[in-house]
Amino acid sequence: MKPVLIFAQVLSAISICWAQSPNPQARVDAEYYVASYAHYYKVPVALVRAIVERESNWEPCVVSPKGAVGLMQLMPVTARRLGVRDRCNLEQNISGGVRYLAWLMRLFHNDLRLVVAAYYAGEDVIGRRTLAYRNPDVFTYVARIRTAYLRETRVNPRTTNTSSERDVR
């Protein structure tokens, strides 16, 4: 993809996000969608919460320098693949992000270390190299998600809603 096109997509996403006024109900709505979609797709709520916390700090329409948008920081290609039309829409963003996590969990046989690494770096890279992938940014990301995940499960043990996932280690 050409840099000009990526830049245009980022500018477009930023302008859409700025047009939306802050909504005090947004966090409550986001929490509802996180729990609902996590339970529906059988993804640990604690994992989704940890990713949202790390990716966007619960800001509904944050845009990354690489062009990822929304609570779950969906890239344009991933969003299109998941049928997400508006990455700033709370429900669409969370639904797409959780569906992506569920798909990654099936792909990586519920190994949450690989799921989280693939969420960050892409499933192709992690799929080819699994834990042999030695990018320090990926290890840092997985470690931070693990910390948030474990903190969430200690605070609210019911946020792990699947019995088959392997711990993020």
Cα 119 from chain centroid (whole Å) = 7
In angstroms, rounded to a whole number, what is the distance separating the alpha carbons of residues 103 and 20?
A: 30
Name every residue whose Cβ is closer than 8 Å to that of residue 88 and which is 6 or more positions away in sequence: 13, 16, 17, 20, 60, 61, 69, 70
Catalytic site includes residue 55: yes
Question: Could you give the CA distance from residue 97 to residue 131 in angstroms, rounded to a whole number?
Answer: 23
Q: Which of 31, 55, 59, 165 is catalytic?
A: 55
| Catalytic annotation, residues | 55
